[in-house]
Amino acid sequence: MRFFGLEREQRKLVSIKQIPPFVVHAVLAAEDARFFQHHGLDPKGIFRALYTNLRYGTIRQGGSTITQQLVKNYFLSSERTFSRKIQEIFLAITMEVLYEKKDILEIYLNEIYFGQKDSIAINGIGEAALFYYGKEVHHLTLAEAATIGGLIRAPNLYSPYINPSRAMVRRSAVLQSMLRRGWITSEEFNNAITDPLEPAGYTAYGRKAPYFIDYLTKQLETLYSSETLASLGLSIYTTLNSQVQIAAEQALEKGLSRLETRHPRADDGVDPTQRLQGAILVMQPKTGYILAMVGGRNYNQSQFNRIAQARRQPGSVFKPLVYAAAMKSFSPASLLSNQPRTYHLDGKTWNPRNAQTDEKEIVTMREALAHSLNVATVDLAMQIGLETVVAKAKTFRLSTPLTPFPSLALGSSEVLPLELARAYCAFAADGLLPYPLSLHEVLDEEGNILERRHMTIEQVLSPGEAFLISSMLRTAVETGTGRDLKDLGVLFPVAGKTGTTNDFKDAWFVGYTPDILALVWVGYDDGTPINASGASAALPIWADLVKAIPQYHSGQWFRRPPGIITCRICPETGKKALRFGCPNPVDEVFLEEMVPQETCDRHGKFGPFNKFMESIKDLFNEP
């Protein structure tokens, strides 16, 4: 996708002759109905305002004519004090003496503030018509004009994007005022009052993938000097893939609607900013290119980017980082204790529990990660040391604070979803941590590539370690917590991890292949429980997304890097399986230096004897 220049401020100037009378009347009805009668001040309005002020002791009501508002906009700070009010009145009278009414109105209509689109202020009615309805002023309908006129008083409060119900009420008031003054007929009134309130959407305002563009705008400032960006005629080539972006947007909306039907929220429909939210990031792991970014459900309602700005608890999607920190001393066959125990910290006690209580007491590391066993994962984190886990996670460039508490292993420290996805990229890219890039390159007017600031690409795991993590996360998808993926129609090999945080506040799935990585998050901004797990809420969205873009994943699995050895082991002991005698031997992959040397001592010839001795020991250990 090509992206031209930096939109900062846009102003589409319109002459008053281009503005239909009913649009002018809508603005007057909303702000200053007696504009053509008074002389810059409206005595009635001022009297009313002064009365209110005396009662409350502060300036409560505007009582401002259009001329006063314009004066305020141009010359004065917006502090609400009586002395400023006097200045404003004086300047308004001066202005009325110097200019004709229709000139003042024209300047006003081109100057006044109609709302905000992140860093961009919407000024002037021409810009407002485009922003709210995607059309020129002279194409506005009466109902649309009344909506736009009505929002001048408090643009963000009455915005049809942010507050549709308030915008409707305000629109009706403006239409009634127009009818009362004879500016519209009752037939026109009746038609307009029943019109649906349908803003065009920000995309009509010339922006696709709006969250991505916000991110890109910030990244440009990080990677290029401000002098470079100030030069004219730059062409910016982004990493966005519009097919992937559309697939991500559609998969998210479909998934969230499905969840809302299943778990309706009590106050749903009251405030659109409190709707169920979700976010998706799709990356190419080797390059770090961002192929799609959906920072929320509806950019019109909320520009907060839940991929790049939200700090959320990762829950179990954090676990692979714990296992990554253990790769120097543990192998997928290493045994972990999965027996619940109590941890004592600073006078408090903590009892991690597994989601299911019927789990085995001893498990291999592969089983622990695949089935997302909390007890065994905390056991592992405590064995390698929490400081080791924190230090390893820091090498993955997680910028949010990580508290070295045993619960860290279960993802209790908040992370930025973008940084989490980037960390997973290292598993998919031979241990190389990429830089999350939104742009390929920037060309100047002559087509020369402009040099950008240095970006770091770091080796955070050996290729062998990364391969083992991917291998274990593939088991998680095939037989562990992500096993529903098959039923959802994803049949090629995938590595992935589900996550569900305390009280079901967040649902996650991060899944990848050698070609593509996607992170899906679902939750409420205010932390209201969604009553659904990562597997039931986020996983189906991930499946819908990847099924819609078959051309972007080959279905191939990772090539085995040098130094990885396969060895048949006995999962009960984590040792080399006997040629005969171990009941469930499995092939396991190891780093060369970690291949088990000992042979199983539980089965075979000595097995029954050992088992007998152990049961004797257990007898004496009974309390």
Which residues are known catalytic residues?
A: 31, 316
Q: Does 600 sit near Zn ion (CB under 5 A)?
A: yes
529-551 exposure pattern, b = at least 16 Cβ within 10 A, e = fewer: ebebbbbbbbbbbbbbbbeebee
Closer by beta carbon to Zn ion, 280 or else 600: 600
The residue from 570, 589, 591, 594 that contacts Zn ion (CB under 5 A) is: 570
- Is residue 324 classed as helix, strand or coil in its secondary structure? helix
* Closest to 411 measured CA to CA, from 450, 388, 437, 377: 377
Q: Which listed range, 72-80, 174-182, 270-278, 565-573, lies at the site for Zn ion (CB under 5 A)?
A: 565-573
Distance CA 120, CA 191 (A): 34
Closer by beta carbon to Zn ion, 25 or else 603: 603
Least distance CB 482 / Zn ion (angstroms): 28
Q: Does 535 sit near Zn ion (CB under 5 A)?
A: no
Q: Which residue has the tokens 């100037």?
A: 13
Distance of alpha carbon 427 from its chain centroid, rounded?
A: 22
Least distance CB 274 / Zn ion (angstroms): 55
Q: Which listed range, 44-52, 159-167, 328-336, 569-577, lies at the site for Zn ion (CB under 5 A)?
A: 569-577
Distance of alpha carbon 498 from its chain centroid, rounded?
A: 17
- Roughly how many angstroms between the first and final C-alpha of the chain, as a whole number? 69
Phi, psi of 139 (to 5 degrees): -100, 0
Q: Does 363 sit near Zn ion (CB under 5 A)?
A: no
Q: Does 569 sit near Zn ion (CB under 5 A)?
A: no
Q: Which listed range, 3-11, 12-20, 499-507, 580-588, lies at the site for Zn ion (CB under 5 A)?
A: 580-588
Closer by beta carbon to Zn ion, 93 or else 586: 586
Least distance CB 331 / Zn ion (angstroms): 16
Q: Does 603 sit near Zn ion (CB under 5 A)?
A: yes
Least distance CB 595 / Zn ion (angstroms): 16
Structure tokens at 443: 């060309």
Q: Is 431 left (phi over 0), alpha (psi -120 to 50) or beta?
A: left
* Binding residues with Zn ion: total (CB under 5 A): 5
Q: Does 582 sit near Zn ion (CB under 5 A)?
A: yes
Least distance CB 471 / Zn ion (angstroms): 21
Least distance CB 479 / Zn ion (angstroms): 20
Distance of alpha carbon 165 from its chain centroid, rounded?
A: 26
Closer by beta carbon to Zn ion, 528 or else 599: 599
Closer by beta carbon to Zn ion, 124 or else 574: 574
Q: Does 283 sit near Zn ion (CB under 5 A)?
A: no
Give a three-class secondary structure readout of 409-431.
Answer: HHCCCCECHHHHHHHHHHHHCCC
Answer for the pair 419, 398: CB distance below 8 angstroms, yes or no: yes
Q: Does 335 sit near Zn ion (CB under 5 A)?
A: no
Closer by beta carbon to Zn ion, 400 or else 599: 599
Residue closest to Zn ion, measured at CB: 570
Q: How far is CA 250 from CA 101, 256, 402, 489, 601, in A?
A: 50, 10, 34, 17, 54
* Closest to 472 measured CA to CA, from 285, 330, 286, 570: 330
Residues that bind Zn ion (CB under 5 A): 570, 582, 600, 602-603
